[in-house]
Chain A
Amino acid sequence: MIQSPEQKKVESGRDVSLDMRHIVRTNGVPILFLALSITMAAVAGLSPAFLMNEVITRFARNSLLVLSLLIPVTAGMGLNFSIVIGAMSAQAAAIAVTLWGIKGVSGFLTACLLATPLAAITGCLAGLVLNRAKGREMITSMILGFFANGIYQLIFLFLVGSVIPFNSKSMLLPQGVGVRNTVDLINIAQSLDKIWRPVISGVRIPVVTVLVSLGMCVVITFLLRTKIGQDLRAVGQDMNIAEVMGIKVDKTRIIAMILSTVIAAWGQLVFLQNIGTLNTYNSHEQVGMFSIAALLVGGASTRRATIFQALIGVILFHTLFVVSPLAGQKLFGVPQIGEYFRVFVAYGIIAVALAIHAWQDRQMRKEAIREAVLTE
């Protein structure tokens, strides 16, 4: 009779006593950023109400974009830099509803409806490309983002107004071809936020927007509990085994990309309605970088990311965004220092995370060699 190994139980028992140290070791990044945020907030001498206001606004504005990264990580495709493609789809939709003059929530929903098929199609294309670049998804998705940006610029800078008919002179550049650098999204500005925005002890809460984000958490949780979620996880662990077990690996990965791109498109629309203006050629550019940085600050890695890490990451990353220029102002009298600091942090954390990722990969290879050396 084979019995379950007792060893396992002993080990898990030991784990409990080491709980605190274990937590610190496995959550080093978010703890570091929490400490940093608290210190800077203290230095800047911010009122809690101001800070809360800022953080809640930014949380509502950005969390959907960060959540859009989770599914590709689950499917083993790493951090999906090509969510900018979703953001571009959203911007195209936002321009369209502004042009058509559909106002308020219905304008926002129309934009969502329009952006969804666009994002689904482009996401599917991105998935097809990534299926040919297995194992190099992250860099490929980054390049894909740049490539898509080129096409986006071609369309909105040269084709709109010349090839594509466009009957609003005010939105076009003076020469009549190409969309202006900034588009005032009067129709959908704040459309979601202002539905219900109660003030609780000095903090304004855009309830509906926050609920949309939390709703997305529920949807993702739901998805991961379904059959497709299990397939995504299986593919994420080992594509070969998944294939042998009859899971359609390529299809599953394409689904992951479609879902990610569509959620990112919705996320960008939420972002734009909060900001109220569209920087036609810039708004999407940093979406990938900042969302990925936020997720990594939350303690996620390229192989494992949870909803909780995404939400914590958004809060920490944006708290730092708020407090660092003010702390810079207080300490050195120059807000730019804080400004530099936050850009530095955003890119720095990605660089570090990717370096760690590469290092872990090398380490795993070394480990494999070591194991090979030692176990004959």
Chain B
Amino acid sequence: MITLLATLRFTLVSAVQNFWRNLAVSLAATCTMGAILLFIGGILLGTHMLNQMLTAEQAKASNIKIYLEDGVSLGSIANLQSELRADPRVSAVHFENKDDAAKEASSQVENFSESLKVLGSNPLPASLNLDLHRLADLPAIDTMARRNAIVQRGNLATDYNPAIIDKLQTLITWAWRFAVGFLIVFGTLSVVIIMISIRTAVLVRRREVEIMKLVGATDWFVRGPFILEGVIGGVIAAAISGTVIAAAYKPAVDHLRSTLFFFPLSYDGSYLAVVALLLFAAGIGLGAFGSYLGVRRFLTV
């Protein structure tokens, strides 16, 4: 027990000394790793936001809003409604009048009710909201709806937008590919940088190492401080990048929400916690791995 404590103490003290004695190299390595972790965290949060958008779009996707011309008779609406209800591809039909539409809009868009007051009248159309059994039937239903006389003309006929889902999907795929590529390239880079800093540390302490081997210190006793030094660098890098990401996430979400108000983005605190944990794991892992390789390569025990 005493032995263990003394070993830990020696290892920790030497590791911190190592860090200080070649502060320039240690800091350079730590900062590089911090920047890399920052990018990794940013990519993780970015793809998470894209995923949020995609999920929302997909949920929207299996339903479709058919916008109706103003002032059409309730009878013709009821006709269309029952016609759609009879369609086996449709699971539910729900009528939304202009007031409902306005209410929904004000719940989603800030200041909408003020704008409505300024306008004096409600520009939003009434709609029939359909739920479909299968996504694949969307285009056919869309085409069918557009032919009906009570449905609005042109772009405003429905809210069906096939392009956006595909685009999001592609974007997410690419974001992940980019993230993985980035991870491989920069993970390797940070491992190499840590190896270099460990090499310097070994050089600075070569006399100590020589004596330790001479008097019969075990391999792990000799290696421990150097490996811990790498881990300390990794933890510091993770702390720095984690703090930056945590601080930037909320403003980023707010900013995106105000510019892309049609996307339902939200601040996901639990995902942020997962990202922070991942960053620490990555920092410790890369630090330990890099310094282990450095010790293997440059410290002949």
**Bound together:** no
Interface residue ranges, B against A (CB under 8 Å): none
Interface residue ranges, A against B (CB under 8 Å): none
